[in-house]
């Protein structure tokens, strides 16, 4: 009877000293919060994280949890072997037993420098045993299968299948950001990219009460639920923006509506950021993709934010964004038609070269602070847990 463990590796570039311990701890905590109900338990050992399993652990669900955790470069379900070269070789033969292959290679990494053989020697000795016992040949450049051996302080790990993680940094090592989440394709991808850079993302969606509100809400909740797979429990602010929208329609010339509307979003998101202790906003803006996204307009829109506005899709082609949306699982939900509350704001001939002083003059006829306050009052906060069927309101 063999014992198995998930061996988890992260990218170590740029990680030194205290920074590294902080990073490892966060990654371990993030993994644990996802897998504790699945019968797994993550520990830090010899520059890697080990996920220990029990007889009744849900291996497939744990694999999926690791596949969607930022900060992991790759991982593998490995056999645990005592520090004994004969036993290591035996286990290599065992993991190759049901495999179809003509050629192979042994790849050893040794963090335990007290082990009496170095990596090259282990590769050679175990390789020879495999040739002798299976008759297969060694191919160092293009093997059909690679047998990995990791020799650590207390034991060794043997496996053949490496699963790529999503890379990046563990969620929360970089702090918190506020994602302005529409029901479109772009903003969910932007939020994902920031999670991948170690940010905990809090979501904000602006809507107005219409007969379609329930449908809109369901769509936004579904998108957040998919994104919550990557960062775990997530907060969603649903901001009813009807009052500000009505004021804008009443007082603002059509071609400026979208810009002023989006400046309101910035102000409200900044207030939410203050409450949450978030350091930046994130949008799905992409330079020059739609009328509101000319550089002139983005400059005027972002001027209303006291915080930096991060736009990770700025340099993406639409196709790149779509591919990523498919990969992370939001695309199919995003393309579902739904009544976007912005559609009321779309002018036939929108301003593409807005000027800040003109926009501020128009805003001066509205009671901006009041409208921001009203919208904040008309806000519902939801906690979305990727494991639960129904959402809770705070
Ligand atoms: P997306 O695909 O994310 O909707 P887009 O290319 O369609 O982006 P817009 O709809 O103009 O462009 O929106 C630009 C950005 O403004 C969005 O990416 C999002 O960050 C933010 N945004 C737009 N509408 C809303 C909304 N109702 N609630 C929250 N944020 C929004
Ligand atoms: Mg949109």
Atom of ligand 1 nearest to the CA of 341: 27
Neighbours of ion ligand 2 (CB under 5 A): 182, 184
CA distances from 75 to 5, 64, 275 (A): 10, 11, 37
Q: Answer whether residue 218 shows pLDDT above 70.
A: yes
Residues of the chain with CATH 3.40.50.620: 176-393
Note the ligand closest to the C-alpha atom of 312.
1
CA 45 / ligand 2 centre spacing (Å): 45
Quick check: CB of 186 below 6 Å from ligand 1?
A: yes
Q: Answer whether residue 342 shows pLDDT above 90.
A: no
Determine the pLDDT at residue 74.
Answer: 97
Point out the least confidently predicted range of 12-16, 56-60, 144-148, 243-247. Answer: 12-16
Q: Answer whether residue 175 shows pLDDT above 60.
A: yes
Determine the pLDDT at residue 388.
Answer: 78
Helix pair angle (318-328, 186-196), 10° resolution: 70
Quick check: CB of 57 below 6 Å from ligand 1?
A: no
The residue with greater pLDDT, 331 or 388, is 331
Quick check: CB of 240 below 6 Å from ligand 1?
A: no
Determine the pLDDT at residue 288.
Answer: 78
Quick check: CB of 106 below 6 Å from ligand 1?
A: no
Point out the least confidently predicted range of 173-182, 185-194, 202-211. Answer: 202-211
Q: What is the chain's mean pLDDT, rounded?
A: 92
Q: Answer whether residue 302 shows pLDDT above 50.
A: yes
Burial zone of 375 (CB within 10 Å; 0-12 exposed, 13-18 middle, 19+ buried):
buried
Which of 383, 385, 378 has the alpha carbon at shortest distance from 235? 383
Quick check: CB of 206 below 6 Å from ligand 1?
A: yes
Residues of the chain with CATH 3.30.2130.30: 3-164
Note the ligand closest to the C-alpha atom of 190.
1
Determine the pLDDT at residue 345.
Answer: 66
> Is residue 343 very low, low, confident or very high in pLDDT (cuts 50, 70, 90)?
low
Atom of ligand 1 nearest to the CA of 183: 4
Name which residue sits closest to atom 8 of ligand 1, judged by CA: 186
- Domain 176-393, CATH among 3.40.50.620, 3.40.50.300, 3.40.50.1000, 3.30.365.10: 3.40.50.620
CATH fold of 3-164 reads VC0802-like (3.30.2130)
What is the average per-residue pLDDT within 75-81?
98
Q: Which residues contact 3 (CB under 8 A, 6 or more apart)?
A: 79, 80
> Is residue 33 very low, low, confident or very high in pLDDT (cuts 50, 70, 90)?
very high
CA 372 / ligand 1 centre spacing (Å): 19
Residue 257 · residue 349 · CB < 8 Å: no
CA 233 / ligand 1 centre spacing (Å): 23
Determine the pLDDT at residue 209.
Answer: 84
Residue 309 · residue 270 · CB < 8 Å: no
Give the span between the Cα atoms of 360 and 364, in whole angstroms.
6
Give the span between the Cα atoms of 84 and 86, in whole angstroms.
6
> Is residue 1 very low, low, confident or very high in pLDDT (cuts 50, 70, 90)?
very low
What is the average per-residue pLDDT within 334-342?
76
Q: In terms of pTM, does the model score above 0.85? A: yes
Quick check: CB of 187 below 6 Å from ligand 1?
A: yes
Which residues pair with residue 9 across a beta bridge?
Answer: 74
> Is residue 392 very low, low, confident or very high in pLDDT (cuts 50, 70, 90)?
low
Q: Answer whether residue 194 shows pLDDT above 60.
A: yes
pLDDT digits (tens, 9 = 90+) for 102-139: 999 999 999 999 999 999 999 999 999 999 999 999 99
């Amino acid at each position: 009877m063999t014992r198995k463990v998930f061996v988890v590796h992260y990218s170590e570039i740029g990680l030194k000293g205290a920074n590294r311990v902080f990073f490892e701890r966060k990654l371990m905590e993030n993994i644990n919060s996802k897998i504790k109900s699945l019968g797994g338990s993550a520990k830090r050992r010899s520059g890697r994280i080990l996920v220990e399993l029990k007889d009744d652990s849900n291996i497939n669900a744990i694999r999926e949890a690791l596949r969607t955790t930022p900060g992991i470069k790759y991982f593998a379900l490995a056999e645990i072997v005592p520090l004994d070269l004969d036993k290591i070789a035996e286990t290599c033969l065992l993991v190759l037993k049901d495999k179809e292959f003509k050629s192979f290679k042994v790849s050893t990494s040794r963090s335990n420098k007290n082990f009496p053989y170095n990596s090259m020697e282990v590769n050679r000795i175990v390789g020879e045993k495999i040739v002798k016992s299976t008759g297969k040949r060694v191919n160092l450049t293009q093997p059909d299968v690679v047998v990995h051996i990791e020799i650590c302080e207390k034991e060794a790990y043997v496996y053949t299948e490496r699963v790529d993680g999503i890379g990046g940094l563990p969620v929360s090592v970089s702090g918190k950001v506020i994602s302005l989440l529409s029901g479109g394709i772009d903003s969910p991808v932007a939020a994902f990219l920031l999670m991948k850079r170690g940010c905990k993302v809090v979501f904000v969606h602006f809507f107005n009460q219409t007969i379609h509100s329930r449908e809109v809400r369901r769509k936004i909740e579904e998108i957040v639920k998919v994104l919550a797979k990557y960062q775990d429990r997530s907060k969603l602010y649903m901001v009813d923006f009807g009052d500000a929208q009505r004021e804008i329609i009443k007082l603002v010339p059509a071609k400026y509506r979208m810009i002023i509307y989006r400046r309101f979003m910035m102000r409200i998101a900044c207030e939410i950021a203050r409450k949450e202790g978030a350091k930046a906003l994130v949008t799905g803006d992409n330079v020059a993709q739609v009328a509101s996204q000319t550089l002139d307009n983005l400059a005027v829109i972002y001027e209303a934010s006291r915080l930096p506005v991060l736009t990770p899709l700025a340099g993406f082609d639409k196709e790149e964004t779509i591919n990523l949306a498919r990969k992370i699982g939001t695309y199919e939900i995003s393309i579902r038609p739904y009544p976007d509350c912005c559609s009321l704001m779309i002018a036939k001939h929108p301003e593409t070269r807005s000027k800040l002083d003109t926009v501020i003059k128009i805003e001066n006829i509205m009671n901006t602070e009041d409208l921001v306050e009203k919208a904040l009052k008309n806000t519902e906060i939801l906690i979305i847990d990727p494991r639960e069927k129904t959402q809770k309101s705070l």
